[in-house]
């Protein structure tokens, strides 16, 4: 327990051995309209989804990482759900995090006694919101119901009957319910119908397929441009011809060609000239970001889905060298990994329009291969499969710390790109 005379700042700087954070991640929490409400932030020192060793040290590590990386990176413009052990609550170390952005998630392993109740009451008074994780009635966490802003129920660990029974017991409290581990569209629909207000998981990354649905005509031009960009090097004249029918990307290209970033002197008189000035890599990146954003506007998809496309693209690109893969191709594989959900069209149908290498196509369809390793590693990271992450990282001769650095870097990049286009 923290020395009562120590401030939270002194506690977090306490000297001595400390566990090292090996994995940093997040899982999205969406509302009924699939808008981002918040993120559960994940800080892990070991392979078992919990900090190992001393609880006080684990608390310091958790808060230190949240401050070091920044809530603006990990949970931009939304709530950050922070897992709280007993030590995190009673030490008040969490008060280093901004109350207006932070939801303190009381873990189901916390034995709620008078000291914990007093700590939670103080934190609530200080402006922090409180969530009860994996709540089960009849446990000591019942004492915290009067402080709770949200209650999280594990949608997969409990039976349908158990979940309905808990909902009935909580109905009088009117506390919003968050369904955890919602991984399919069917689970989302069920949870929505049963009255949950928020939904945590990657259900949004799966397409809602309709047998009568076709790719809208106005989106075909973006598919054509993606098709041209999959070639390396691409045909400038083919790209130019497509851009002549797509004003917004053409405008972005001309602005970039005339920017201080490029430092080109003289007038730009054609699209082909602008393409040569900007260069293949920069234009491919500019165009794919614009395509992802433009495609999402034609259907109802969440910000998180477009973010996920860009974050995966950047992550696969960063990992390409270690994986011995083609950088530009890996960027496109990451980007295209959510295109079926964005277009609400089967992946096989979308890929049939793109001249990718067979290895890249197979990777996007789930086949195991060297080409698929970066995307497979990211999927494991997203699903908190830390042991598998370590195995794949070792095969690529990178450390868990390097893997986490790539993940955070890709997250920052994706957030900045969407902010730049006001998405």
Which pLDDT does position 3 carry in this prediction?
Answer: 45
| pLDDT of 13 higher than 60 | no
Longest Cα–Cα distance of the chain, Å, equals: 75
Average pLDDT value for residue range 236-260: 86
**120 Cα distance to chain centroid:** 28
Where do runs of H (alpha helix) occur along 38-99?
55-69, 71-74, 86-90
The better pLDDT of the pair 247, 84 is held by 84
Q: Where do the domains of the chain lie, and which CATH numbers do they carry?
A: 8-205 (3.20.20.450), 217-420 (1.10.3210.10)
- What's the CA gap between 132 and 335, in Å, rounded? 35
| pLDDT of 21 higher than 70 | no
Output the average pLDDT for the chain. Answer: 87
pLDDT tens for each residue of 351-398: 998 889 999 999 999 999 999 999 999 999 998 899 999 999 999 999
Please give the C-alpha separations between residue 43 and each of 62, 147, 386, in angstroms, as whole numbers: 6, 25, 11
Cβ atoms within 10 Å, residue 282: 16
**312 Cα distance to chain centroid:** 9
Choose the weakest-confidence range: 26-40, 150-164, 239-253, 297-311. 297-311
| pLDDT of 149 higher than 90 | yes
Q: Which residue has the tokens 């809602």?
A: 208
Which pLDDT does position 215 carry in this prediction?
Answer: 64
- Cβ-based neighbours of 422, under 8 Å, separated by 6 or more: none
Q: Which residue has the tokens 């989302």?
A: 188
Res. 348 pLDDT band, cuts 50 70 90: very high
């Amino acid at each position: 327990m923290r020395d009562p005379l120590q401030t939270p700042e002194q506690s977090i700087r306490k000297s001595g051995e400390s566990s090292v954070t090996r994995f940093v991640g997040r899982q999205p929490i969406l509302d009924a309209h699939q808008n981002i409400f918040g993120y559960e932030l994940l800080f892990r020192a070991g392979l078992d989804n919990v900090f190992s060793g001393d609880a006080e040290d684990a608390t310091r590590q958790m808060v230190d990482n949240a401050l070091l990386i920044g809530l603006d990176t990990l949970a931009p413009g939304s709530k950050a759900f922070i897992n709280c052990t007993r030590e995190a609550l009673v030490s008040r170390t969490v008060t280093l995090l901004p109350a207006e952005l932070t939801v303190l998630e009381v873990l189901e392993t916390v034995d709620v006694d008078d000291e914990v109740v007093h700590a939670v009451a103080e934190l609530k008074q200080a402006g922090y919101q409180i969530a009860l994780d994996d709540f089960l009635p009849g446990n000591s966490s019942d004492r915290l119901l009067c402080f709770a802003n949200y209650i999280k129920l594990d949608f997969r660990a409990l039976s349908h009957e158990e979940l309905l029974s808990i909902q009935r017991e909580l109905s009088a409290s009117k506390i919003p319910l968050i369904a955890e581990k919602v991984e399919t569209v069917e689970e989302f629909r069920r949870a929505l119908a049963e009255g949950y207000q928020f939904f945590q998981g990657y259900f949004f990354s799966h397409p809602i397929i309709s047998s009568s649905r076709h790719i809208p005509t106005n989106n075909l031009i973006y598919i054509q441009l993606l098709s041209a960009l999959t070639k390396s090097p691409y045909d400038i004249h083919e790209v130019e011809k497509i851009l002549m029918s797509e004003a917004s990307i053409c405008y972005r290209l001309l602005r970039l060609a005339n920017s201080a970033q490029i430092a080109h002197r003289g007038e730009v008189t054609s699209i082909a000239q602008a393409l040569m000035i900007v260069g293949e890599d920069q234009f491919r990146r500019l165009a794919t970001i614009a395509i992802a954003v433009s495609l999402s506007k034609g259907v109802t998809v969440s910000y998180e889905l477009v973010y996920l496309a860009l974050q995966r693209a950047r992550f696969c690109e960063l990992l390409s060298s270690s994986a011995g893969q083609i950088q530009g191709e890996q960027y496109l594989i990451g980007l295209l990994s959510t295109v079926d959900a964005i277009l609400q069209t089967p992946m096989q149908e979308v890929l049939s329009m793109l001249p990718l290498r067979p290895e890249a196509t197979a990777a996007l369809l789930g086949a195991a291969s060297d080409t698929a390793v970066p995307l497979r590693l990211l999927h494991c990271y997203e699903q908190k499969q830390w042991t598998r992450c370590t195995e794949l990282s070792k095969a690529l001769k990178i450390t868990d710390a390097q893997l986490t650095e790539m993940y955070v870097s890709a997250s920052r990049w994706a957030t900045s790109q969407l902010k730049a286009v006001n998405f």
